[in-house]
Amino acid sequence: MFRLGRKSLGVVAAVAVAGGAFAGIGAATASGPNTQFYACLNSKSKVIAGSITTTPLTCPSGNALVTWNSVGPQGATGPKGATGPKGATGPKGATGPKGATGPKGATGAKGATGANGATGPKGATGSAGTPGAKGATGSRGPVGPTGPKGDVGPAGPTLLAAGWVNYDGTINGDTVAAGATVTVSRIAQGEYSLSISGLGTHYIFPTFTANTATYMYMPHDAIVGAGTFTADVYTANGQDSDWFFSVVGH
């Protein structure tokens, strides 16, 4: 295999630049990351004669075989470049899924008791409860002191006249208030006339009770005036009867 020196490599490089089309052909036909190329170089014109191939060649007289690799040896690491300016802040990324709940932490110490809050408004009155059972009757208390004497009440009715009358109209006996005069007469069977004078100014309340008849009555035509009471009195059965009268007044 013909190897070029440094000077020959410069010539090959120049030819490769000038004949870029050949270099392109060689590159297009390369296979693999590092391919070795072969060509014949005219010794006088310094021009590649023929085609560039990846298979070894036998050059004619007046030509030299040249070879090169598609990838050269790795050069030395260059110096670190200056730090570039800070780029713009990118958009906020989507929220990631919620992580698992961590274990429960230890219970903290009890805090100090807070101050009492203000008293709230009074609530509404609740409904009345069910009445309880009646309790047992207590023992009787002691008798209280006698109260003061009350005022004297008004005077009650006064008996003005009273008497027993026989069936024939005669008075059998009578009790008459002072100053009163009683007169009785029989008008007809079972009918009598009674007159009492000297009664003064009183409201008159007469009553009559028969002995043998069921009862006696006085019609509404009784006359009261100037201290005199006059009325006709009848037995209920229309028969003569002993009877009693009394007159009270206020």
Give the chain's end-to-end CA distance (angstroms, integer): 179
Query: Percent of the chain, pLDDT > 90?
Result: 36
The two tokens of residue 74 are 């790795």
pLDDT of residue 17: 36
pLDDT of residue 7: 37
Domain boundary among 36, 51, 69: 69
Q: What average pLDDT does the segment 51-63 reach?
A: 91
pLDDT of residue 225: 64
22 found inside a domain: yes
The two tokens of residue 49 are 């004669």
- Checking if the pLDDT of 178 tops 80, the result is no
Q: What average pLDDT does the segment 89-115 reach?
A: 91
Under the banding of pLDDT at 50, 70 and 90, the label for residue 213 is: low
Between 24-38, 54-68, 236-250, the lowest mean confidence (pLDDT) is in 24-38
> Which one is predicted more confidently, 6 or 195?
195
pLDDT of residue 227: 77
> Which residues contact residue 65 at a Cβ distance below 8 angstroms, ignoring those fewer than 6 apart?
1, 2, 38, 39, 40, 41, 57, 58, 59
- Checking if the pLDDT of 85 tops 90, the result is yes
Select from 60, 16, 26, 68 the least CA-distant residue to 40.
60
Domain boundary among 19, 51, 69: 69
List pLDDT tens digits, range 144-173. Answer: 999 999 988 887 777 778 888 899 999 887
98 found inside a domain: no
pLDDT of residue 4: 43
210 found inside a domain: yes
185 found inside a domain: yes
Under the banding of pLDDT at 50, 70 and 90, the label for residue 228 is: confident
Under the banding of pLDDT at 50, 70 and 90, the label for residue 25 is: very low
165 found inside a domain: yes
110 found inside a domain: no
Host domain of residue 63: 6-69
The residues pairing with 38 across neighbouring beta strands, listed in sequence order, are: 53, 67
DSSP 3-state of 131: coil
26: phi then psi, degrees, rounded to nearest 5: -60, -40
- Checking if the pLDDT of 38 tops 90, the result is yes
36 found inside a domain: yes
Domain boundary among 52, 69, 86: 69
Q: How many structural domains comprise the chain?
A: 2
Q: What average pLDDT does the segment 3-17 reach?
A: 39
38 found inside a domain: yes
Distance between CA atoms of 204 and 70, rounded to whole angstroms?
166
> Which one is predicted more confidently, 185 or 229?
185
The mean pLDDT value of the chain amounts to 80
Q: What is the largest CA-CA distance in the chain?
A: 211
pLDDT of residue 180: 80
> Which one is predicted more confidently, 231 or 213?
231
